[in-house]
Amino acid sequence: MFRILLIALLFLSNDAFTQDKDADEIIKKMQTVFDGIKDYKVDMTISVDMSFLKVPKSKATLYFKQPDKVKLDSKGFAMLPKEGLTFSPGKMLDFAYSAFYIKEEKVGESNTHVIKIIPDADSARVLLTTLWVDSKFNILRKIKSTTKSAGEFEIELTYADPANIKLPSTAELTFTFDQNKIPARIREEIQKESKDQKNQNSMNGKVTIRYENYSINKGLPDDLFKEDQ
Amino acid sequence: MFGKLISIELYKIFRKWRTYIGFIAIGVLLPIILTALYYEGSNYINFSMRALKGSFLVVGNLLNGYLVGYLILQALIIHIPFLIVLVGGDLMAGEATAGTYRMLAIRPVSRFKILTAKYLSGIMYIGILLLFLAFMSIGVGSIIFGTGELLVYSNKIYIFPASDVIWRFLLSYMFAMLSMSTVFGLSFLFSSIVENAIGPIVATMALIIIFIILSALPIESLAWIKPYLFTNHMNGWMTFFADPVDWSEITESALVLGAHSVGLYLVSLILFLKKDILS
């Protein structure tokens, strides 16, 4: 009888057990994988789709060096979302938090661990973050986050060769944009065009980035980052 | 023969100092604007992009010759009419003031040719003035600031690739030419009626100011009149700096302005053909 009760208890509390056991461990593994990348350089093709903004498809080069050095370089105009810019878990989770393992879920063809991140302090810029971490390669497949200043955003990453290159080949970022940040004249025009957004405080945007020609761990000099850190 | 007439009229136009007021105004004003933009232009860029800079990392030279050209065209095009009427108002009335009307009319050249030559010379003057404006703004601006993507801040924030900008400027200036021709046509008409250049200049300016005020007033009872005011169509050049370009709106505005230009020329011609020249 006692054995039956114990097994039932184990089944019922399965989620609680996995929370304590796995979430921090999975994030740690993901961080370890990313820490293996000391620096990288990558060419990007960026497409921005926002209702109040018409931007041509742009090309830029992103330089990254651990722990948080970033440089964006382009011959012409380019814009890149600040959120999830470098895929660094340490940068994305740069606040005290509690991590909870939720479940396993498929993202595309990959099995992922779904982890919810809740900040410990009210002062954190993030309210809630959900991570989908590839269970085989310990890389980030998807992130969904609600922030205080930038609203909601979701990044879905695909990898061309995850076994060898732990950095994505495409990133699709969808986000909400606070309409109050847009100048009134443009806001009125957009609302005229889109009646369904008339009573909303935010509008949606999408940025698609294609990454090519990764150059990883080639020893980027610190001088490179002097201007645009 | 007709070419000779036009060259004579152009010679007469460019012999008068008032012809150069427009060039001097642009030549003095633009270096001031270019200097101000050189030192303060980044503030304009930051202001325009402030909505994005919170969420995006932005790189690139948006303060360039194309932006300078666009800002100057936007700022000056509503004032260029005042420079054009100085010449347009004087073309016919100036002959009366100088007492050369009769002498001109007794030459073995038809009144039709005389008036048409004067009209076309005036149109050429507008073309030269606008070319000067384009050179001083886009040309000099590109030398100082370089070229690059064009930031346009209108009903949306547009960033046009550098390769997508030149044709927009070209068509905008052609449209501006049509707008200015309408203004010129009005001053030319007034000039063909009276015998003193001051009257046509002041009358055209007054009419343009009245039309612009009527176009700008947000009063519903006056809304019906707006499509009939040519001043309401003069900003049609801005439509070229949108994506997609609203060709139907541009065509409508171009037709209204074109009809005004032709109409004003024809009325001027009829009045001059029937004019009893006594001076």
CATH number, residue A106: 2.50.20
A77 at B interface, C-beta within 8 A: yes
In-domain check, residue A180: yes
Asked whether residue A227 is assigned to any structural domain, the reply reads no
Q: Is A180 on the interface with B (CB under 8 A)?
A: no
Alpha-carbon gap: B145 to the closest alpha carbon of chain A (Å): 14
- Are A189 and B61 in contact (CB < 8 Å)? no
User: Per the CB < 8 Å rule, is A53 touching B160?
Assistant: no
* CB-CB under 8 Å, A56 with B161: yes
The amino acid occupying position B183 is V
Q: Considering the domain boundaries, does residue A229 fall inside one?
A: no
Whether residue A177 and residue B161 make contact (CB cut-off 8 A), yes or no, is: no
Please tell me the pTM assigned to this model: 0.83
Question: Which residues of chain B are within 8 Å of residue A79 when distances are taken between CB atoms?
Answer: 52, 56-59
Note the pLDDT tens digit of each residue in A104-131: 898 888 899 999 999 888 888 788 999 9
Report the gap between the CA of B67 and the closest CA in chain A (Å): 13
Nearest Cα residue to A179 out of A157, A203, A210:
A203
Alpha-carbon span B231 to B166, nearest angstrom:
25
Total number of domains constituting chain A:
1
What mean pLDDT is reported for chain B?
90
Cβ of B59 within 8 Å of Cβ of A78? The answer is yes
**B259, part of any domain:** yes
Does the ipTM exceed 0.85? no
Kindly determine whether residue A77 and residue B148, on different chains, have CB atoms separated by under 8 Å.
Answer: yes
CB contact under 8 A, A78 and B62: no
Report if residue B279 sits inside a domain. no
Does A184 touch chain B if contact means CB atoms closer than 8 Å? no
Residue-number span of the structural domain to which A75 is assigned? 2-218
Q: Across the interface, do B59 and A60 touch by the CB < 8 Å criterion?
A: yes
List pLDDT tens digits, range A38-48.
Answer: 999 999 999 99
CA distance to A59, A205, B133, B154, B266, per residue, from A47 (Å): 9, 11, 35, 21, 52
Question: How far, rounded to the nearest angstrom, does the alpha carbon of residue B199 sit from its chain's CA centroid?
Answer: 21
* Nearest alpha carbon to residue A214 among A174, A154, A153, A162: A162
For the stretch B177-217, pLDDT in tens is 999 999 999 999 999 998 888 999 999 999 999 998 888 88
Q: Residues B15-27: what's their mean pLDDT?
A: 93
Q: Is B246 on the interface with A (CB under 8 A)?
A: no
Chain A residues inside the 8 Å CB shell of B159: 53-56, 77
Q: Which residues contact B191 (CB under 8 A, 6 or more apart)?
A: B88, B89, B90, B91, B92, B93, B94, B197, B200
- Decide if B55 and A189 are in contact by the 8 Å CB cutoff: no
Domain span at residue B260 reads 2-274
Residue B14 lies in a domain: yes
Predicted local distance difference test score (pLDDT) of residue A21:
55
Q: Is the peptide bond before A67 cis (omega within 30 degrees of 0)?
A: yes
In a domain, B131, yes or no: yes
pLDDT at A194: 65
**Tens digit of each residue's pLDDT (9 = 90 or more) over A24-79:** 889 998 888 888 889 999 999 999 998 888 888 999 999 998 888 888 888 888 88
In a domain, A226, yes or no: no
Q: Can you tell me the distance from the alpha carbon of B279 to that of A84, in angstroms, rounded to the nearest whole number?
A: 81
Q: Of the candidates A159, A174, A164, which has an alpha carbon nearest to the alpha carbon of residue A108?
A: A159
Please tell me which residue, A188 or B145, carries the higher pLDDT value: B145
Domain count, chain B: 1
Closest chain B residue to the Cα of A60, Cα to Cα: B59
B56 vs A contacts (CB less than 8 Å): 79-82
Interface of B with A in 143-172 (CB under 8 A): 148-149, 153, 155-162, 164
